[in-house]
Amino acid sequence: MKDLDTPTIVVTGGNSGIGLETAVALAGRGAEVVIGCRDPRKAAGATAEIRRRSGNESVRSLRLDLADLRSVERFAAELSTLDHIDVLVNNAGLVCDRRMETAQGFELTFGTNHLGHFHLTNLVLDQLRAAPSGRIVNLASVAHARSVDGITWSDMGRYRRYRTWRVYGDSKLANILHAEALAERLADTSVVAHAVHPGSVRTGFGRDGDTSGATASLMELNGVAQRLGLLRTPEQGAATSVHVATSAAAGRSSGLYWRDSHPARVAPWTRRRGDTAVLWENSKRLVSAVS
């Protein structure tokens, strides 16, 4: 029987980069940690690493492909054995330099970074509500600032021109708006929701097969920047996620966007009136259309 004081944490994309370091830090504080990963081989290696580095054996991995809503549902069904979830860290993400699709035919970046997490969060909401003080942490990015005038609803399928950083920026703005929409909906519960920017972090991001050509070169430049000491380590990059997952300050507020472990301002030129509600309704409609 699990000690009721042991928090239960779920981290998507916990097999590498910021997600792995978030899982190590939270397991190191004694939490029971479940990482959701699409690649079982990477998942096994990461589970062993998190256990070894944190000294906590209560770490396991479950299969999760956010680009397939049926996989998201299977993951949520496996999580249903947990009577409560204290923290859901919606961390996994990718950037693509060409148009690709999820299993249900959504554009891959938005489908993975936002829609998969939108569906997952709704499926485990009752377990978050069952926790004494549930938290949802969405990994957004300063790149949301690319989303001038907000999300491009007129071409969510990206059949017109595919602009890598605009598409990525829209998905990261969605992560912020999703946290805001959750905060509104959960205002009368003990669950809070926040979005974070981890800083510019040297990880495998954008260099693991999702990008090629110009974008990959840009990501390689990031590698040079890291060697020059200009980028954060993944451990430093996980600090804001860990702060928002655990601090009293983040538990007292909801719907905020955090940078360097402090609330920060969302780029004002990305804001349109009513857009949190529009994101919620459109996401609900898109997910139900393929359910």
Ligand X SMILES: NC(=O)c1ccc[n+]([C@@H]2O[C@H](COP(=O)([O-])OP(=O)(O)OC[C@H]3O[C@@H](n4cnc5c(N)ncnc54)[C@H](OP(=O)(O)O)[C@@H]3O)[C@@H](O)[C@H]2O)c1
* Residue 112 touches ligand X, criterion: CB under 6 A: yes
Which residue in 6, 1, 14 sits closest to 234, CA to CA?
A: 14
* Residue 226 touches ligand X, criterion: CB under 6 A: no
Query: How many amino acids of this chain bind ligand X (CB under 6 A)?
Result: 28
Give the C-alpha distances (Å, rounded to integers) separating 58 from 17, 64, 239: 20, 19, 21
Q: Which burial class, exposed, middle or buried, applies to 163 when counting CB atoms under 10 A from its CB (0-12, 13-18, 19+)?
A: middle
* Residue 19 touches ligand X, criterion: CB under 6 A: yes
Q: Which stretch binds ligand X (CB under 6 A): 88-96, 211-219, 244-252, 277-285?
A: 88-96
* Residue 208 touches ligand X, criterion: CB under 6 A: yes
Residue of 159, 162, 168, 257 marked catalytic? 168
Which residue in 254, 54, 6, 257 sits closest to 139, CA to CA?
A: 257
> How far apart are the C-alpha atoms of 144 and 240, rounded to whole Å?
17
Give whichever of 36 and 281 is closer to ligand X, judged by the CB atom: 36
- Identity at 88, one-letter amino acid code: L
* Residue 26 touches ligand X, criterion: CB under 6 A: no
Q: Which burial class, exposed, middle or buried, applies to 241 when counting CB atoms under 10 A from its CB (0-12, 13-18, 19+)?
A: buried
Among 9, 10, 11, 18, binds ligand X (CB under 6 A): 18
Contact track, ligand X, 51-80, x by CB under 6 A: -------------xxxx-------------
- Per the annotation, the verdict on 159 as an active-site residue is no
* Residue 241 touches ligand X, criterion: CB under 6 A: no
Among 198, 246, 256, 287, binds ligand X (CB under 6 A): 198
Q: Output the CA torsion 9→14→17→22 (10° steps).
A: 10
Among 7, 8, 9, 17, binds ligand X (CB under 6 A): 17
Q: Which stretch binds ligand X (CB under 6 A): 9-17, 74-82, 158-166, 187-195?
A: 9-17
Cα dihedral 55, 15, 287, 258 sign: positive
Which positions are annotated as active-site residues? Answer: 168
